[in-house]
Amino acid sequence: MSPESLLGLLTVGILIWRLPGWCFRAARWIRRRRFEQRGRLVASQSSAWGPGYFGKPAAATNPHPGRVLQAKLDEIGSLHPSIESTREGTRLQLGAQSFESTDTLDFGQEIGAVPVAGLIAGFADYLDAGKGGCRPQLAAVVAEATRKYRALDLYAPPLRAADSEAPRRFWTLATSIATNPNADIRLIDPARPELAERIAFSVTGIVAAQLAEIFFGHPDLLAAFLHRPRHIWIYANDSAFAHEGGVMGGDYNPEVEAVQLVMSRLFEGYSETVPGTCPLLHELGHLLDAVNIADGRIGRAEGTLPGLAPGDGRYFQPAARQLFLDGKRREHERYLAAVEGRNGDDPPLGHPYVFHNDGEFIAGYFEMFFRNPHAFADTCPELYASFQAALNVDPRSYVRSDFDGYVSANRAFYASGQPVPRPGISVPTD
């Protein structure tokens, strides 16, 4: 056989070997482009985020001025408004208090005075966009009416620390996230994009706040994370979410490399004094697992956080990885003991769901790291220390009291005597 024929056969062999991978990447790119071009609304960063925390609030006037009432957003921001129609007009109901549309609530120097008529209109937009299934806290409605970042402090747990400079640093970081071209944060309603646009500011702000909570202690890691586009798509209502193939109200979709979440789920866990359930944190845990932080590419999820895998380049922390492996192994042993009915008073921290696979394990413990850090650190000190090292943050510094919902429910399950399914997680030995 001549050299030319041999070279030709070699070339054909290489093409055949590489063709499946090329086809897979091309199909994934086409699907992502189809998602992006299907009439979606991209929340405009220039309009949705301006003038912002460091600017002046949007002008708001009341043509029929009534009472001007002093209000403290940090005290009533977690309340869920409602609208009441009477013969005299429309009222805003907050708990036991009722406000006329001609009233004005003055939230002080940071937020300013807000006509109740504007709050009623903003809340009505939320109800309409969510098709009745989304009831935000007052804080989100005030943020939409004023275009003020500080109105969203409710959704920023790190600001509960006693640090007078924390708000400025936190919202500066959140602003950098929201205005970064690689932060593809969208509010989506293909059927009514103009309605979604009217509440895009507050939705974008809440997402940016949760990202800022994750990266508040490690801005270098944030820069690496946003080195490539990150898709976080919020759907205005269940029908819009289902139309795009969403699952269980929220998911990480590896086909389009996007976190997908129904808008109503953004507001879970912020109605009590202690921050609670946070579905977006859980799905962001999946996204972080999928990112190869060394080059920013999306790869195969391995059940780790950035910095805990040997392939993470300069971000890899060998000592933190060893803590992670030790902690995961201990939880795995506790879970196996529960499966065999011999765990006694020492059950694992996580629910059986998070032991289904490595991806759910990291996402579930990632959420608990931020919402019940005290129980996490007490029960799984090695695992907690590995998360703390990877993210350079200790949520115990600002979470004074754990959200007990997960911990109590999980303990109750293991104590109930119900069958515990076999685990599907792995523990590398390195």
Tokens of 357: 């696979």
> Residues 291, 225: contact at Cβ < 8 Å?
yes
Q: In sequence order, what are the residues at sequence separation of 6 or more whose Cβ sits closer than 8 angstroms to the Cβ of residue 296?
A: 224, 225, 227, 228
392 pLDDT more than 50 = yes
Q: What percent of the chain has pLDDT over 90?
A: 75
50 pLDDT more than 50 = no
389 pLDDT more than 50 = yes
Dist. CA 250–CA 238, nearest whole Å: 10
Segment 318-355, tens digit of pLDDT: 999 999 999 999 999 999 999 998 867 789 999 999 99
Task: Provide the 10 A C-beta neighbour count for residue 299.
Answer: 13
- Rounded alpha-carbon distances, angstroms, from residue 93 to 16, 78, 96, 130, 292: 67, 13, 7, 19, 48
Kindly report each contact of residues 55-59 with a partner whose C-beta sits within 8 Å and lies 24 or more positions away, as own/partner. Answer: 55/147, 57/111, 57/112, 57/146, 57/147, 57/148, 58/145, 58/146, 58/147
SS3 403: coil
Q: What is the mean pLDDT of residues 56-66?
A: 49
Q: In sequence order, what are the residues at sequence separation of 6 or more whose Cβ sits closer than 8 angstroms to the Cβ of residue 143?
A: 149, 151, 152, 201, 202, 205
pLDDT at 300: 81
> Residues 327, 381: contact at Cβ < 8 Å?
yes
216 pLDDT more than 90 = yes
pLDDT-based confidence at 37, cuts 50/70/90?
A: very low
- Rounded alpha-carbon distances, angstroms, from residue 305 to 40, 324, 351: 30, 10, 20
Segment 223-245, tens digit of pLDDT: 999 999 999 999 999 999 998 88
Higher pLDDT, 30 or 219: 219
Segment 160-198, tens digit of pLDDT: 886 788 899 999 999 999 999 999 999 999 999 998 999
pLDDT-based confidence at 35, cuts 50/70/90?
A: very low
pLDDT-based confidence at 95, cuts 50/70/90?
A: very high
pTM recorded for the entire structure: 0.86
Q: What is the mean pLDDT of residues 44-71?
A: 50
Q: What is the mean pLDDT of residues 264-282?
A: 94
Residue of 113, 63, 119 whose CA lies nearest to 94: 119
> Residues 196, 243: contact at Cβ < 8 Å?
no
The arrangement of strands across the sheet holding 89-94 comes to 82-86, 89-94, 97-100
Q: What is the mean pLDDT of residues 128-153?
A: 96
pLDDT at 189: 94
42 pLDDT more than 50 = no
